Amino acid sequence: MPKLLILGGGYGGLAVAQRLDAVSRGRTNWDITLVDRRDFHLLQVRVHEVAANTIPVEKVSIPFSELLDGRKIKFVQATINKIVPGEKKVETSAGTFDYDRLVVALGSETRYPPIPGLRENAYPMKDLDDAINFRKAVIECFRAAADPDEPPLKPVDERLTFIIGGGGLTGSELAGEMVDFCSDLAERAKLPQNCFRVVLLEGADHLLPALDRQYGEYVRNELRQHGVLVATNAMIEKVEKGTVYLRGGKVVRGSIMCWAGGIQASAVVQSSFEHLSDGRIPVDEYLRSKEYPEVYVLGDAASIKDKRTGHTVPWTAQYAERQGHYLAENLWDEERGLKSRPYLPFSLGTAISIGRNEALTISGPLKLTGVPGRLAKNISYDNYEWNIRYKPRILKV
Ligand SMILES: Cc1cc2nc3c(=O)[nH]c(=O)nc-3n(C[C@H](O)[C@H](O)[C@H](O)COP(=O)(O)OP(=O)(O)OC[C@H]3O[C@@H](n4cnc5c(N)ncnc54)[C@H](O)[C@@H]3O)c2cc1C
């Protein structure tokens, strides 16, 4: 049996494995192995909600044993150390694997621009551990502030000022939900509601620079009403513990900082393939590496041009998942002697939460705000979970 090795069980990798098994109804000839360093699938799009205590850890982690149960897919929990595409080999903490076809779906990692002190003094917001560590640190700040032996709190005290660098999707969503989290913590510690502040710093001239300006402006106004101090054109030049220095001489002081200002393809991907400056691997219209046609790359690891718009496909879970489905269907078509079709990216829309209970959801001509926007966002989360968790068991697809 030819070997299909899938590296990474995130949105893209899991979608390939589940879909190939489903469309072929278990009859595929591929001997499928999925490798991930975790034994659970992480719902990464909700990681910042764990950081802001909106949802518990269990809501974002689903064991692979459950997701792959009853399918002809081997799962190996291991860390990928090196990909050697010239020899069709992958070196992992559980030994070396060879393959006939390889799917690289290893996602991305936090990118730190060369800002002195940033890496050392800011919490990343990418992985589950990042979220847990950040949440613990915020709780600790409130615990210390409520200590009767500490000097009394001033309104908007620096000890309870939380700085978020990067006003993209992650930073903006985290900022809104942090206000609700801090409000809960203040109430629990019997501290006044005006003792804390959340500051969001964005270097561009509007939030959500990857989206249309009007949406960035909308989210900025909503976050401000929610109590977030939003600063755009705020270029961070240096970070020290508790202090962020901005271009132009402004200084922001706070207790802890989170960096949500950028990502890059993971180090193991970058060291194994020729890549672009952001670490991504350029692929052709069939998601094949341009260097090694037996290697497919998808999700955050890939740089994919949308031929219709000329733009690069954004790094989001919805694209990664659909790329996984596309690839699985193409592999099954190929097995049956059918012609491969090129990948055509499309988006169902975007949803940006503003605090725990509101969101801006845009889908084609539909634009929902406030509570209906949040309900629509929650439905999209539930829909994904249904698709990977229950649909395969109930409908056997
Ligand atoms: C806080 C946050 C909020 C987001 N919100 C949204 C949103 O609202 N909507 C949206 O569409 N997108 C959102 N995104 C982006 C989205 O999560 C990513 O684009 C998506 O996860 C990419 O999917 P992927 O399959 O490429 O990688 P991932 O889902 O990251 O999966 C990669 C997998 O590879 C594994 N892995 C990585 N390195 C190794 C290694 N060396 N060895 C073994 N295993 C390894 C990981 O454990 C992981 O399971 C958000 C991201 C973050 C961080």
What is the full per-residue pLDDT of the chain (397 aa) written as tens digits?
A: 999 999 999 999 999 999 999 999 999 999 999 999 999 999 999 999 999 999 999 999 999 999 998 888 999 999 999 999 999 999 999 999 999 999 999 999 999 999 999 999 999 999 999 999 999 999 999 999 999 898 888 888 899 999 999 999 999 999 999 999 999 999 999 999 999 999 999 999 999 988 889 999 999 999 999 999 999 999 999 999 999 999 999 999 999 999 999 999 999 999 999 999 989 999 999 999 999 999 999 999 999 999 888 889 999 999 999 999 999 999 999 999 999 999 999 888 999 999 999 999 999 899 999 999 999 999 999 999 999 998 776 665 5
Give residue limits of the domains in the chain: 3-110+263-346, 118-259
Give nearest CA residue, ligand 1 atom 53: 126
What 3-state class would DSSP assign to 376?
A: helix
CATH architecture for residues 3-110+263-346: 3-Layer(bba) Sandwich (3.50)
User: According to the model, what pLDDT value does residue 80 have?
Assistant: 98
Atom of ligand 1 nearest to the CA of 350: 9
pLDDT for the residue 386: 93
DSSP code per residue over 339-367:
PP---------EEEEETTTEEEEEETTEE
Say how many Å lie between the CA of residue 63 and the centre of ligand 1: 16
Spacing, Cα 120 to ligand 1 middle (Å)? 23
Q: Which of 130, 211, 316, 388 to mutate to test the pocket of ligand 1 (most atoms within 8 A of CB)?
A: 316
Q: Are strands 73-77 and 61-63 parallel, antiparallel or unpaired?
A: unpaired
The CA 16 to ligand 1 mean position distance, Å, reads 15
Residue type, position 180, single letter: D
One-letter amino acid for residue 384 of the chain: Y
- 118-259 shares the fold of 3-110+263-346: yes
The helix/strand count (H/E) of the chain reads as 11, 25
Domain with residues 118-259, CATH architecture: 3-Layer(bba) Sandwich (3.50)
Helix axis angle for 213-226 and 169-188, nearest 10°, is: 10
* pLDDT given for residue 145 in this prediction: 94
CB 12 within 8 A of CB 36: no
pTM recorded for the entire structure: 0.95
Residue 34 is predicted with a pLDDT of 98
Q: Is 142 helix (H, G, I), strand (E, B) or coil?
A: helix
Pocket test for ligand 1, best of 64, 103, 106 (most atoms within 8 A of CB): 106
